[in-house]
Amino acid sequence: MNQDSSKDISNKDLKIGVFLCRCGGNISDTVDMEKLRSSVDAEVVEEFENLCSINGRKIIRDSIIQKNLDRIVVAACSPITHEKTFQKYINPLNPYLLEMANLREQCSWVNPDVETATEKAISLVNASIEKVKYAQPLDPVLRKTTKSAAVIGGGISGISASLSLARQGIKTCLIEEQPTIGGAMVKVGKLFSPEKLAEECAMCLLNPLVNEAVEHKNIRIMTNTTLKSAERRSGNFHLLIESKPRKVIEDRCISCGKCAEVCPVEVKDSWNEDMTFRKAIYKPFAQAVPDVYTIDLEKCKNCGKCQEVCRMNAIDLDMEGEVVPMTVGSVVIATGHKTFDMAKRPEYSYGRHDDIVTQMELARIMGVNGPTQGKLLKPSNNKVPERVVMVQCVGSRDEKPGGRKYCSKVCCMVAIKHANVIKQHYPDTDVIICYTDMRTPGMYEKYFKYAQSNGVRLIRGRPGEIAEKDGIFLVRLEDTLSREPLEIEADLVVLSTAMEPSDGTINVSGLLDVGLTEELFVKEKHSKIKPVATEVDGVYVCGTAQGPKDITDSIVQANAAAAKISELINGGVELEPFVASIDQSKCNLCKKCIDICKYKAAYIQDGMLTVDPISCTGCGACIWECENNAIEIMGQTDEQIIATIDGMLKDKKPEENRIIAFLDSVGYVSADNIGINKISVPSSVRIIKIPSMNRIMPKHILHAFKMGADGIIMGEYPYNPMYSRTKEKIAGLKEELVKNNINPDRLAFYKVYIPYFRGLANKFKEFDGEITCLEKG
């Protein structure tokens, strides 16, 4: 805080300095500077050719020091252009004790007539003078984040994100629900490589990463654990992590496997897609990390046989789970996906025949550590199939109930990969892929061509059913290219099932209060310019938790998420302090503001309502909800808004019309663009910048009309999270006008967009015309 914050002087006694910029004629050619100077009531009024120059800084600084000024108004170009410059120039004053009057973009450039331009310039300067009297010294908000992170989900995305964070020196906890890390990647066996036109061993690529994660001093791997609760507190997250009891002491188990030999309980092995059996004490696969056995709590009968044979005394059947608290600076959601439930599509007969399988089941069958040690054998009879038919888009691109409207993105490549592997090892087996569109963008197209040259056949048509006759499957479709209804006989059918958000993705997002898409994947803040960021600051997403994607894209996202966290930790973020502030003596903790805030900026901590300045945009929607007037928006207090309105309407002549235009930041830039393009705007329009139309309340509108405004227009960008609120508010404001005998047509609303400034200019003209008509009555 600067020294003058302690000064306790009333607004009337403040010494205000007004600095007028001629802007090399840009302003002074149109605005009568002499008249403007004489109309301004301030301690100091100075005029200069180019205020933004270094000489301008000297003039401003010298005046502040010599005349002991308290507040500064700079009447020049748009604050978008030079507010930061002038905030520095008014040092030693606090930067937020400055107001700018936009005489160039929103006056001289849109108002060619000298007389009306000068009138407008006077009111813009007056508005800034009135507003700056209520300015408070503020400090920018600096976000600092603890140098630690939690990564939820131990698949390839989570492992990659953890490694990147750890290598940047960030303490990272990798939380995995299953007894082992590796996720779906360890199960698929082979990975397609479009560059090498070959298939690579998934385990061979993943193992070095897993080993590095295990060895890394900055990574703590917690398997058999889930997120139980999460609370966000000023940039940090307090998490509760629940561990299921493994019932095997990790440090003692040497993974000899004697326990599993004697265990009498057989369980379907989910790691092999239920095609084989394991025991109730098990290790999912040979290379599992951590390399220890685990007891399946649901299936174990507590017979104690394992305990008897364990020479390491590693089994503790009385082991209990625990809940561990943890505080981290950031969270990565890497909770992955699951595959489409085939019970929803009975027409494909899945579950009724062993030889109708999913691509993941085929991956296990062809995996060297799978049920057939990598041999392509039909589950029903262990014979090599004569013809494999693959059905694409099962549950994807499907608008039927339970279907997924999106393309699952990887299935074309997965089908081609498996087709290639089959063709290499079993050239006599015919492979047909039934497709709607083959989607193999970029380099993947080369891999697709490679499959065609391997003799993989493609038929364009989407099968409607799979029947069975005398032990042979009939895949029914239309060959849409030859326009022929077709039945393909097959002895192994493979369904390319859709990728869906996993249960973990949905649960974890709920606990972290992160928004989901229509399809229940984790929603990014903005898919183009804010990828991997979620709606909650400090929470990032990567991999298939965000949407269907392959391993390459998952790793890219994981690295992006880690980089974003690193930005927060190393750089910190400095933000404008125009956020909600709470008067604790008035707050009754009714929580209505918490419910209304789509930015999730408000929360209760230690029995006090707290606003996270990082998340708050100062939109003001909460003020409407607060019955005790306990909330203020810094920089946009009621006094400041009322003062600005007063200034804009000061000295209005009887025959003159004045229209107040409240614009959000998008609308304000759009209005600047009107000026830059020298499109004229009615001289009646006076623009006031407001963070969101939610900030404008009936009292502001009524005050403006009382003070002589003839019309009010409000412009807001429609794609902000609180926009739905704005729409309700406008209707409410109009009702309020009717109650006060003011024609509601005097209030207009307009959707603003930065590039569509001509639309805004037209709207100003149109509204000015309407107001003129109303005046003439």
Partner 1 sequence: MKTIKLKKESVQLVKDVLKDIKASPDLGIYKCVQCGMCTSVCPGARQTEYDPRDMIRRVLEDDETVIDDDNIWNCFSCYTCNSVCPSGNNASEINQILRQMSIDKGEGMKKIVSFAAYGDSFMELGVGSIPNNFFDVMVKDVGPGYMDLKINIEDIRADLGLGSYILPENAIDEVESILDNSGFKDRLEKIKRCK
Residues near partner 1 (CB under 8 A) are 347, 393, 397-400, 403, 436-437, 460-465, 476-480, 483, 485-486
- The minimum distance between CB 482 and partner 1, in angstroms, equals 11
Closer Cβ to partner 1, 271 or 340, answer by number: 340
At residue 320, φ and ψ (nearest 5 deg) are -115, 155
- Residue 402: count of CB within 10 angstroms of its CB: 11
Closer Cβ to partner 1, 486 or 516, answer by number: 486
- The minimum distance between CB 415 and partner 1, in angstroms, equals 16
- Compute CA distances 269 → 287, 451, 500, 712, whole Å: 16, 32, 22, 68
Closer Cβ to partner 1, 156 or 466, answer by number: 466
Closer Cβ to partner 1, 436 or 552, answer by number: 436
Closer Cβ to partner 1, 299 or 476, answer by number: 476
Tokens of 165: 């964070």
Closer Cβ to partner 1, 427 or 464, answer by number: 464
Q: In this structure, are residues 406 and 397 in contact, taking their beta carbons and an 8 Å threshold? A: yes
Closer Cβ to partner 1, 483 or 653, answer by number: 483
- The minimum distance between CB 147 and partner 1, in angstroms, equals 48
- The minimum distance between CB 433 and partner 1, in angstroms, equals 14
What is the rounded distance in angstroms from the CA atom of residue 92 to the CA atom of residue 2?
8
- The minimum distance between CB 195 and partner 1, in angstroms, equals 31
Closer Cβ to partner 1, 22 or 345, answer by number: 345
- Residue 629: count of CB within 10 angstroms of its CB: 11
- The minimum distance between CB 406 and partner 1, in angstroms, equals 12
- The minimum distance between CB 412 and partner 1, in angstroms, equals 14
Q: In this structure, are residues 71 and 21 in contact, taking their beta carbons and an 8 Å threshold? A: no
Closer Cβ to partner 1, 479 or 576, answer by number: 479
The radius of gyration computed from the CA coordinates of the chain, to the nearest angstrom, equals 34
Among 551, 499, 555, 503, which Cα is nearest to 532's? 555
- The position carrying tokens 């066996």 is 189
Closer Cβ to partner 1, 375 or 460, answer by number: 460
Long-range contacts of 278-284 (CB under 8 A, 24+ apart): 281/248, 281/306, 281/315, 283/179, 283/180, 283/255, 283/257, 284/178, 284/179, 284/180
Dihedral angle of Cα 221, 222, 224, 229, to the nearest 10 degrees: -140
DSSP string for 206-251: HHHHHHHHHH-TTEEEE-SEEEEEEEEETTEEEEEEEEPP-SB-TT
- The minimum distance between CB 403 and partner 1, in angstroms, equals 7
Closer Cβ to partner 1, 347 or 735, answer by number: 347
DSSP-based three-state secondary structure for 589? coil
Look at the alpha carbons of 99, 104, 110, 114 in this order and tell me if their dihedral is positive or negative: positive
- The minimum distance between CB 395 and partner 1, in angstroms, equals 9
% helix, strand, coil for the chain, step of 5 = 35, 25, 40
Closer Cβ to partner 1, 216 or 462, answer by number: 462
- The minimum distance between CB 500 and partner 1, in angstroms, equals 16
Task: Say if residue 384 is exposed, middle or buried (CB neighbours under 10 Å; 0-12, 13-18, 19+).
Answer: middle
Task: Say if residue 175 is exposed, middle or buried (CB neighbours under 10 Å; 0-12, 13-18, 19+).
Answer: buried
Q: In this structure, are residues 712 and 701 in contact, taking their beta carbons and an 8 Å threshold? A: yes
Among 182, 331, 335, 319, which Cα is nearest to 245's? 319
- The minimum distance between CB 407 and partner 1, in angstroms, equals 11
- Compute CA distances 565 → 29, 145, 326, 568, 616, whole Å: 50, 9, 17, 5, 20
- The minimum distance between CB 459 and partner 1, in angstroms, equals 10
Q: Are strands 16-21 and 44-48 parallel, antiparallel or unpaired?
A: parallel
